[in-house]
Amino acid sequence: MSTHARTVICLLRNDLRLHDNEVLHWAQSNAEHVLPLYCFDPRHYLGTSVYNLPKTGPFRLRFLLDSVRDLRSSLINKGSMLVVRQGKPEDVVAELIKNLPSVSAVVFHEEVASEERAVERAVKDVCAHMKVKVHTCWGSTLYHRDDLPFPHLARLPDVYTQFRKAVETQSRVRPLILSPDQVRPLPPGLEEGAVPTMEVLGQTEPEADPRSAFPCSGGESQALARLKHYFWDTDAIATYKDTRNGLIGVDYSTKFAPWLAMGCISPRYIYHQVHQYESERTANQSTYWVIFELLWRDYFKFVGVKYGNRLFHIKGLQDKSVPWKKDMALYNAWKEGRTGVPFVDANMRELAMTGFMSNRGRQNVASFLTKDLGLDWRMGAEWFEYLLVDHDVCSNYGNWLYSAGLGNDPRENRKFNMVKQALDYDGNSDAGPSARGKKGPSHTPKQYGNRGIDFYFSKSKHL
């Protein structure tokens, strides 16, 4: 063994947490010094691949910076530190190995999409050249990839229900890896690095909008507090299935997605907390439905593994040719909430002003872009990638393919009727159907009176 105490570099990406983090756990067991590292990769702040929108918009960037600072604070409390660098991970790792003769291994969680996997290959190449071991883990899904009831992911069912029934009956969720009491110290003499500002990364701090359905901050501590609030403090989970199609307010849905996307909370942690809640409080369709939605997230990840870059191709998973339009005037009207359809416009303005949109809203505006306007579905997917605080590449592109009729959808030509959807889900809007004697959703929070999303976001004078 080298005379230097062994150091393991933990390359953290979408796993910004201490609990249930196999990367940190493995490093703790295999080195005297642990070097948790986060790189602000300049490629994340370039344009999207087809329409050159900024890849990381202001809402997600603010949430990411919160999450990085929160993880640094947690690591300090455990006797460690998050090392931060601006640069390509493969270059940063090479520089660290060069300057630290004690580095014995680099460990990271594997990702799914091609850009993330290209980074992994580049890091492996650097490490092979410098004779440093690489260890990889799988940790972004509820069910571990190795525990799926399919011989390999090429055999993954193309229908969600078949996938769900198979894993629910034939697989088990692994136990949690607990947060370490202490994290092994950094190697001596290492510069910790500053967390960059939004401006340095090409964005400006977005204005807080009091109407936001997601007025939350990034970070593991915030994620765990949100779960405690939604499960244990308010029992909101017990009515989740009834309220999840809401449009206004913080508690109509779990709002876990942004923290899940950055790995501030583990899907396994949520799962085990659901089961604890069911044993101590109540088990019903709503508690099950939280797990049902986590399974959708898993499914899109595994679809991403199975189909690779077809997730981003204009013909989608079904290799289907559709004469999509690329009309920029129509696209800009959709983006800016100027289509003239109040329900669509309200949701699009909410996204532009807050970085968030309800699940029901997303389904409707996606249907409108692809089925009513006939625009290239990637125009919508890239706008969401830019603005959504909870953007997750597999879920976003998988859902857009689903809406466009090119993905995992056994029902052909699915299309939402915007008028009917607005009446069903936004019945308390300013132009709501009170004359028809129809009530809006009973879960609309009191502070909004009986006004719906149409009222709150369609009436905005500017973006």
Point out the annotated binding site for FAD: 240, 293-300, 390-392
Per the DSSP assignment, residues forming a β-bridge with 162 are none
d(CA 444, CA 428): 9
Q: What is the b/e burial string over 371-386, where b = at least 16 CB atoms within 10 angstroms of the residue's CB?
A: bbbebbbbbbbbbbbb
Show the beta-strand stretches assigned E in 258-340. Answer: none
142 phi and psi angles, rounded to 5 deg: -70, -55
Q: Helices 393-404 and 359-367, interaxial angle, to 10°?
A: 50
Cβ 258 vs Cβ 214: under 8 Å: yes
Q: Helices 342-354 and 418-425, interaxial angle, to 10°?
A: 70
Residue type, 337: G
Cβ 368 vs Cβ 421: under 8 Å: no
| CB atoms closer than 10 angstroms to residue 370 | 24
Residue type, 134: V
Annotated binding residues: 240, 293-300, 390-392
**Coil, strand or helix: which one is 9?**
strand
Give the burial class of 451: count Cβ atoms within 10 A of its Cβ; 0-12 exposed, 13-18 middle, 19 or more buried: middle
Give the burial class of 188: count Cβ atoms within 10 A of its Cβ; 0-12 exposed, 13-18 middle, 19 or more buried: exposed
Measured in whole angstroms, the distance separating CA 197 from the mean position of its chain's CA atoms is 22
Cβ 358 vs Cβ 257: under 8 Å: no
Cβ 135 vs Cβ 107: under 8 Å: yes
Q: Report which of 218, 262, 193, 202 is spatially closest to residue 45, judged by C-alpha positions.
A: 202
